[in-house]
Structures are given as C-alpha cells and as structure tokens.
Amino acid sequence: MMSGRRLLAFLVASIIVTVAIALVLPQVLGIYYLHVVDVMLINVILALGLNMVLGFGGQISLAQSAFFGLGAYAFAIMQAHGWPAPVAAIGAVAFSGILGALLGWPVLRLRGHYLALATLAFALIVSELMVNLDMLTGGANGMMQIEGVGLAGNNQPMLYVLLAVTLVAFAGSVIFAYSPMGLRVRAFRDDLIAAQAVGLNVKAMKIGLFVASAVYGGAAGVCYCWLQGYISPDVFGWQTTFSYLSMVVVGGLGSSVGAVIGAALYTLVPEWLRFLQEAYFVMFGAVVIIVIALVPGGLAGLGARLFKRLTRARSTDARSLSEQEA
Amino acid sequence: MDAMLEITGLTRRFGGIVALHNVDLTVREGTIHAVIGPNGSGKTTLFNVISGIYPPSDGEVRFLGRNVGGMSPEALAGMGLGRTFQNTRLFASMSVLETVLVVLYRGSIALTISAKAERRAREILEAVGLADLADAPVTGLPQGQRRLLEIAKVLALDPKLVLLDEPHGGLNHTETARLIEAVRKMKEQGITILLIEHEMEVVMQLADDITVLNFGERLAHGSPAEIQANEAVIEAYLGQSASGPQAAPAPTAKADETLLSVRNLSVRYGDIEAVRGIDLDVKNGEFVCLLGNNGAGKSTTLKALARMVPASGEISFEGEPLLSRRIEALVGMGIALVPERRRLFGGLSVVENLRIGAHGRSRHYVDEVQEEVLDLFPSLKRLQRSLAFSLSGGEQQMLAIGRALMSRPDLLMLDEPSLGLAPKLVEQVLGKLIEVNERGTSILLVEQNARMALAISHRAYVLSSGRIVASGSSEELANDERVRNAYLGIAA
C-alpha cells in the first residue's frame, strides 16, 4: 500500500513531468506532432476512465466510445443553444455521468460476457442515435464550427489545456486508487461475496464505477470539441470502443500509469509505423496480441516486475553475504 | 437471556433438492452455539441463508428481533452480522493490514486512511496473532493464517453475531489453540457466536449449546453433555463402528520393483524453500503416505511430483525421468492425481466427470472402466445423472477419486482427500483407497489425519518444515514419538 507521503511525492512528480512536457514539446515538435500529442492526451483520459471500471472494478465495459460521444455532442449542443463554454462543459460531463448511472443501474446483476454485451449494446444505441437524431446532432455530417474555448486548431495552447485536464484526471485516478474507496473497489473486484459479507455496498460501487468512467469519457468528449471545433458520429462509433479496451489491457489493467502508457502507445505507434501503409494494422494487431499473451499485467505490470526484481536481487545479495559471514 | 437469532420452520430448496427442512434454532445472546452434523447435512446452507446469500424458501429468520429473511448480505453485515467462510475468502490483491482496513472503512467517504484506523487495524491483527504479518500479501499465507485473518476481518465489523464456518479445518495445534483463544475473547467481549465445526473436541470445549443437523433436518439440540449422550447423534455423526477401517493387506509379489523414486527433491516459492532435499520411494503395489502438519511441505511435494510446480532434483517413474515431462504426459505414463479440493467439473454430471477422466480413449474402454469405477463406488452409481456441484463433500471426493481411476493408473496420488469431511466419511473414503490398492494400484497419499492414514497404509514418511524427519513402516510410526512431535511443532 502506498503511504500518504509516497502518494504526495508521486503526485508532485506527475506535476513536474507535466510541466516539463509543456515546456519542452512545443520547442521540439512541429505543428502536426503537437496535434498527435493532443489526440493522445484525449485517449489518455478515455483510457483512465475505462480503467476505473474495468481495471479497478473488474467490470467489463464496452461503453467508453458512447460516453466519449455523449460528452462531445452534449457540449456542442449546449453551446449551440447559447450556454457559455464552462457551463456547457460541466453540463456535458454531468450529462454523461448521469447516463453512466442509468447504464450502471440495469446492468447491476450482469457480469462477464453478459455485461460486455449489454454495454456494447449501449454503445450501439448511442452511435445510432448520433447518426439518426439529425435535428439535434446534424446526422452523418456531424456538427461544425463548435466554438469551444476558441482554441480549435490551435495545437500549442490546446496542449496546455489538455495537459491540465489530463493531469487532473490522472491525479483523480491515482488518489482514488489510494483512498479507502479504492480499497473497497479492490475488495469488490477480488471477491464479490466476501465484500458483501463485510458490509460493502457493492451496488453503489458498481454504479459509481460506471459513473466515474462516464465522467472521464464525457470530459474527453468536451476536450475533443475544443481541440477540433467539429464532430462527426464516426469518431464515436461503437467499433472504436475496442481501441480503448486494447489501450487499457496493453497498458496494464488496474494501473493508472498503465492506462497512460497504453493510450500513448496506441496513439504514437501508428505514427511510427506509418511507412508500412496497409500492413500497419497487421503489425499493430500482432503487437497487441503479443503483449496480451506474453505480458500478463500489461506493460505497467512488466515495469513493476522489473523494478521488483532489481530491488529483490539487491536484498538477496545482502542476505547471502550475511549468511556467509555467519 | 434474549434470543440474538431465532429461526423457525426454515426450509431451503434448490430445485427439487431440499437442503434444509423445517429447521428451528435459537441462539441466546452472549453464548457460543455450535451446529454440527455429518457432511451434506445442510450446515453451510443454513449459514448462507442466515447471512443473506440465499433467501429462505420458507420459514422465518429473526436477527435482533427483526425478520431478516431475504435481506442482502451487506445489509445484514451493517446490522452487525459477520461471517467467515469455510474455504476462506480473502481479497487476493491486498495485504493482511489492508484486508482489515477495508472493513473498517466499509462505509466511510474519507480520502485517506487515518493513523487511528491503522492502529485499530493493527490491534485487531494483534488479537488474532497476525500482527507480525501485517504487511504480507494475503496470497502467500498458509491456510491457518488465512483462517485467522478471516476472523480478523469479521472482528473489524464490530459484530454482534458472528457465524464461523469450520474455522478449525486444516489448522495445526498451535493455530487451533490460538483460534480457540480468539473465539473465547470474542465471547468475553459480548459477541454471540454461531459455529460450524467438525472437530468434536473443539465443539465440546467451546459450545454452550449444540444443534445437530442430519439430512437437512434438526436431529437434536441441547447442551454438550446431552448431545454427547444422545444415541441418534452418535450414530449419525461418528458412524456405528467405533473401529477404523481395516489395514491394507501386505503388498503382493512384485513389491520389490520400485515404481516411483525421488531423490533430493527441492521446491522454492520465491524466497521460501518449501521442500528441501526429499528422498522417497513407492514400490509396486505399495500404499505409502506422506504425513505432517500444515505447511510441512506435503502438498508441495505432491504437486512437484505431478509437475504442477517447478522443482529440482531427480524423479523417476518406472525408470523414466519425470521432471522433463509435461504435465499432460503423466496420465499416459500411468500416474493419476486427485487434487486438493477435488477440482471437479461442477456443471457436469457424475458420469460426464468420470468419462472426462478417460478422455481420448476408445468408447469401449471408457464404458468398461466406467462400469468398474461405478461398481467400486455404489453411492455414485445412484447419483450418476446428478451434477457434480450438487453432491455433498464426501460424494464429491469419491467422484474425484473415481475420475482419477478412469485412466487405470499404476500410481494414484491423493492430496488430503479427508479435508473438510466428517469422520465417518473420512473412514469411507480412506476405506475405498484400501480397495483400490488391493486391486493393484499403488497409492501415494498426502494426509494430515495421521492416525487414520497410518492405520491403512504400508509405509509412511513424516515431513516437518520441508524435510523428512521420520520414515518407516506405518505400524512402527504409529507409535513413534517423532510423528507426534512433528505434528505438535516440538523440535526434535
């Protein structure tokens, strides 16, 4: 268990890293790559949210693309109706969160494959509605000229905004995992019956986890509006939900750092593999399969194990020395 | 004294099976009340209904004067009803301390864990004797400590009534003493206790009242002295004959041929050396047992032989080296394992479970061996179509042995087949092993119940702290001090 002091140190380190990124990246990256990093940060927020319900809570959810879309459309529509940007942003995140609760409630009794299918159905419904509610959503064309915070297409200032939002999202995830609430969620994930037997309110927890993932998804949607200035339904299509799933699984289920690593690789590796053209998806798919098959615990788990091995190697050395002396 | 828990006319059905029928039970406040009964008599179902895991089919459960039938487990826990589980249910990702903390923080919205709560958690661990292990992960804990932690978890609920489901199963003497002390302390604090327990000594020491279940019905209730004198109880629980099963006859003719030979076997789990330099032989037709208390390394040795954990040393079976073989190859070589906790396919029927044991053989072979095995276990013959999970513990154990025999092994290895079984059933199961051995199968049995195992086997090895501390014919060992010492934890 992380001690309070270590948590604080970890958060301070995260802030320092974020500030360093904010200072260095605009100096070394061109406008195109700054955009890639901006998209990456949005993916990080989505992955962090999915990790809440799937990684911490052990509840499979394929609804992340839906919450992403709900947040984006809610913001665009609210702003189009004359709400000021901050109010529309809060409203959009709240709307997404409420729908998270509405999804969490009926699927309370579902687990495993059934839960996966129910949440996928939710993603399908939302993606159909985005196309077919033309009056509100602009149908297949989506919505243009979203004012956002006036930074659409402005990749460098958006980097600062997105870094700030991502930092808050990351800190929220880390603090949650460390808090007694995070401990309860682990109990719920480890053994449902044992958790109930010690009086943990598992229903509230499950709904809460869906709300948390929806809030993160909604926030990512709002950020997407700000970054692009336009939205279209294909970005939030139900097929994209599997991207977020692979980010979290490859990064390492149940690890905030893992969600960051997974989302970062998922966004950046395609850029590096661009020269492969069509063959790129084959390569990328192969990488995902290799990580899932060979690295249980994902990349974050791999890192943690390496670290442990290094520290343990040192302590065993110390012991064998003292044994020799004795 | 008031009734803490009052159960009247409780019935619980699972499909067509009546697990509990019209059971009455009253637990007086501040007492220790034991529920005993042979395996499959409905004790654990009773606990599951009281603690809210299953709703009652009929009848009433009153806790603190309130009808709580059908309430959720978490609501009951909130009212002060705590329970432990027979097969401990701990939170696998947590440390010992975290396990207690999560219960202390069950309803809090605090963002951080306070020093005060941590102190309280450590006090609770102190009370059950786990203070030293506060930072250890729960996954590596041996069974005894897992049970103590179950109790710590319940204590953190600050309960009024605690249900203990076989808290003593699989504990060694030191741990049992600690457990009895912990239960007594709970009673002194004013906690009412309802207890399921097989070990009659423990029951008689602790209980104020006893209720006896048999086939889902209440057979008797009263004080320990009354129950001890009750003829019906004695017959149901202890079995009619006081004598144990007959000893296996001496191994026949080919006895000189060594079937299994183990030299210098060691197994490490991370930093811990669980088994150290073990030498062991099983001859053709022999019935050998491996004894020792919890954590002595018995199961680990067996798992190493079954290639389920990595090991170093030399193992040969019928002259062939075993350590390089894959786990699936063992069955083909003539080795079959009955794993701890049986590992049946719960959703398959008895016959299907058996047939899986001979998977890949010809239909003719499978039919023939199935007939043989069902002849050996008449009780399974009756239950052929039942699903494995619906069988009682004893029947499941028979099925697990039957499944292993489906490959007609030369060597049958068993890991604690008596675990969690009532004495009468242990006799039956071990008695079957003698029959199996008489038909020519060699047996290597890992067992904690030394008295019983020595009565039926030819030869035995006694393990303590991962080493063999004694070996010889079972007859000699039965009177050997070293055996008792290994069990009581007295250093040689």
CB contact under 8 A, B92 and A187: no
Question: CB distance A183–B94 less than 8 Å?
Answer: yes
Give the gap in angstroms from C-alpha A120 to the nearest C-alpha of chain B. Answer: 28
Question: For B252, phi and psi rounded to 5 degrees?
Answer: -95, 175
Provide the residue type at A32 as one letter. Y
Q: In chain A, what residues touch B72 (CB-CB under 8 Å)?
A: 196
Task: Return the structure tokens found at B474.
Answer: 């079972």
For B106, the closest of A178, A194, A200 (CB atoms) is A200
Q: Do B85 and A197 touch (CB under 8 A)?
A: yes
Q: Is the pLDDT of residue B269 over 50?
A: yes
Nearest-neighbour CA in chain A from B202: distance (Å): 25
> Which burial class, exposed, middle or buried, applies to A135 when counting CB atoms under 10 A from its CB (0-12, 13-18, 19+)?
exposed
Q: Which of B77, B91, B113 sits opposite A180 (nearest CB)?
A: B113
pLDDT confidence band for B295 (50 / 70 / 90): low
* CB contact (8 A) between residue A4 and residue B95: no
Determine the residue type at B230.
N
Burial call A153-188: b when 16+ CB within 10 Å, e when fewer: ebbeebbebbbebbbebbbbbbbbbbbbbbbbbbbb
Across the interface, which of B89, B97, B157 has its CB nearest the CB of A199? B157
Q: Which amino acid is at A262?
A: G
Q: Name the pLDDT band for B240 (thresholds 50, 70, 90).
A: very low
Instruction: Give chain B's contact residues with A (Cβ, < 8 Å).
Output: 51-53, 72-74, 77-78, 82-83, 85, 89-95, 97-98, 101-103, 105-113, 153-154, 156-157, 271
How many structural domains compose chain A? 1
Euclidean distance between CA atoms B13 and B250, whole angstroms: 47
Q: How many Å apart are CA A168 and CA A151, to the nearest integer?
A: 20
List of chain B residues whose C-beta atoms are within 8 Å of the C-beta of residue A198:
77, 82, 102-103, 106, 153-154, 156-157
Number of CB atoms found within 10 A of residue A11's CB: 16
Interface test with B, best of A198, A308, A311, A312 (most B CBs within 10 A): A198
Exposure string of A198-208, with b = 16+ CB inside 10 Å and e = fewer, is bbbbbeebbbb
Is A49 part of a structural domain of the chain?
A: yes
Check: CB of residue A6 under 8 Å from CB of residue A130.
no
Q: What CA–CA distance (Å, rounded) separates A107 from A254?
A: 21
A317 touches chain B (CB under 8 A): no
> Do B89 and A175 make contact, defined as CB atoms within 8 angstroms?
no
In terms of residue numbers, what domain contains A162? 4-238
**pLDDT at residue A323, rounded to an integer:** 38
- Averaged pLDDT for residues B270-285: 84
Q: What is the number of other CB atoms lying within 10 angstroms of the CB of residue B270? A: 8
CB contact (8 A) between residue A198 and residue B106: yes
Distance from CA of B105 to the nearest CA of A (A): 6
Spatial contact of A218 and A52, defined as CB atoms under 8 Å apart: no
- Is the CB of residue A16 less than 8 Å away from at least one CB of chain B? no
> Among A188, A240, A207, which residue's Cα sits nearest to residue A103?
A207
Kindly tell me if the per-residue pLDDT of B489 is higher than 60.
no
Instruction: Indicate the pLDDT class of residue B490, thresholds 50, 70 and 90.
Output: very low
Question: Given a cut of 60, is residue B242 above it in pLDDT?
Answer: no
* Amino acid in position A14: S
Using one digit for the tens of pLDDT, what is the confidence trace for B326-381? 877 888 888 998 888 778 888 888 888 888 888 778 888 888 888 888 888 888 88
- The whole-angstrom distance between B40's CA and the closest CA on chain A is 22
Question: Are the C-beta atoms of B398 and B432 separated by less than 8 Å?
Answer: yes
Q: Which residues of B touch A204 (CB under 8 A)?
A: none
CB proximity list for A15: less than 8 A, separation 6 or greater: A167
Q: Which residue in the set B74, B111, B271 is minimally distant from A202, CB to CB?
A: B74
- Within chain A, which residues score under 70 in pLDDT? 1-3, 312-326
Chain A residues whose beta carbon lies within 8 Å of the beta carbon of residue B152: none
Give the tens place of pLDDT for each residue, B97-129.
999 999 999 988 888 889 999 999 999 999 888
Indicate yes or no: CB of B95 within 8 angstroms of CB of A180. Answer: no
Distance from C-alpha of A135 to C-alpha of A59, rounded to nearest angstrom: 35
Query: What kind and span of H or E run contains A317?
Result: helix A298-325
Element (H, E) at B303: helix B298-305
Nearest CA in chain A to B155: A198
- Position B182 scores a pLDDT of 87
**Is A4 in the B-facing interface, judged by CB distances under 8 Å?**
yes
Contact A194 B156 (CB under 8 A): no
Q: Both tokens of residue B492?
A: 């040689």
In angstroms, what separates the C-alpha of B97 from chain A's closest C-alpha? Answer: 9
SS3 B475: helix
Q: Test A186 with B91 for CB contact under 8 angstroms.
A: yes
Is there a contact between A16 and A214 (Cβ–Cβ < 8 Å)?
no
Nearest CA in chain B to A319: B271
* Closest CB from B89, B112, B113 relative to A194: B89
| Interface contact A180-B51, CB threshold 8 A | no
Say which amino acid occupies A238: W
Question: How close does chain B come to A311, measured CA to CA in Å?
Answer: 13
Given strand B320-321, what is the order of strands in its sheet? B272-283, B258-269, B312-317, B320-321
Which of B84, B89, B150 is the best substitution to test chain A (most A C-beta atoms within 10 A)? B89
Q: Which residue out of A174, A175, A183, A315 would a mutagenesis test of the B interface target, given it has the greatest number of B Cβ atoms within 10 Å?
A: A183
SS3 content of chain B, % helix, strand, coil (to 5): 40, 25, 35
Q: What is the mean pLDDT of residues B283-308?
A: 86
Please name which of B456, B452, B447, B353 lies closest in space to residue B395, comparing C-alpha atoms.
B353
| Residues 116-175 of chain A whose Cβ lies under 8 A from any Cβ of chain B | 175
Write the DSSP symbol of residue A56. I
- Highest mean pLDDT among A67-76, B110-119, B265-274, B282-291 belongs to A67-76
- Please report whether residue A304 resides in a domain: no
Predicted model pTM: 0.73
* CB proximity A189 to B under 8 Å: yes
Give the helix/strand (H/E) hosting B443.
strand B442-447
DSSP secondary structure of A132-170 = H-HHHH-GGG-B----TTS-TT-HHHHHHHHHHHHHHHH
B490: its two tokens: 């007295």
CA B119 to chain A, closest CA, distance in angstroms equals: 14
Interface residue A56 vs chain B (CB under 8 A) = no
Q: Return d(Cα A180, Cα A56) in angstroms, integer.
A: 13
> Is the Cβ–Cβ distance between A295 and A276 less than 8 Å?
no
Max distance between CA atoms of chain A, in angstroms, equals 83
Chain B interface includes A44 (CB < 8 A): no
Adjacent-strand bridge partners of B36: B212
> Are residues B160 and B4 in contact, defined by beta-carbon separation less than 8 angstroms?
yes
pLDDT in tens, B47-69: 999 999 999 999 999 999 999 98
A304 lies within 8 A of chain B by CB: no
By Cβ distance, the residue of A175, A184, A191 closest to B105 is: A184
> Which of B93, B104, B138, B162 is the mutation pick for testing A, counting most A CBs within 10 A?
B93
Secondary structure of chain A: what % helix, strand, coil (to 5)? Answer: 80, 0, 15
Residue B246, pLDDT above cutoff 70: no
ipTM: 0.86
A5 and chain B in contact, CB less than 8 A: no
In a domain, A194, yes or no: yes
As to burial, measured by CB atoms within 10 angstroms (0-12 exposed, 13-18 middle, 19+ buried), residue A106 is exposed
Question: How confident is the model at residue B478, as a pLDDT?
Answer: 80
Q: In the prediction, which pLDDT does B18 show?
A: 84
What is the Cα–Cα distance from B56 to B21, expressed in whole angstroms?
11
Task: Give B20-67 as a DSSP string.
Answer: EEEEEEEEETT-EEEEE-STTSSHHHHHHHHTTSS--SEEEEEETTEE
Structure token pair of residue A233:
């339904």
Q: Which residues of B touch A314 (CB under 8 A)?
A: none
Mean pLDDT of chain B: 85
Minimum-distance CB partner of B153 among A178, A189, A198: A198
CB contact under 8 A, B111 and A193: no
Is A89 inside any structural domain?
Answer: yes
Closest Cβ opposite residue A194 in set B91, B97, B112: B91
Triad B169, B171, B172: Cα angle to 5°: 145
Position B448 scores a pLDDT of 73
Secondary structure class of A173 (helix, strand, coil): helix
Higher-pLDDT residue of B148 and B232 is B148
Which residues of chain B are within 8 Å of residue A195 when distances are taken between CB atoms? Answer: 91
From the DSSP assignment, how many helices (H) and strands (E) are in chain B? 19, 20
Q: What is the pLDDT of residue B384?
A: 83
Q: Which range has the worst mean pLDDT, B68-77, B130-139, B176-185, B254-263?
A: B254-263
Cβ contacts below 8 Å, chain A against chain B, sum to 93
CB contacts, 8 Å: B139 with chain A: none
- Asked whether the beta carbons of residue B90 and residue A191 sit closer than 8 angstroms, the reply is yes
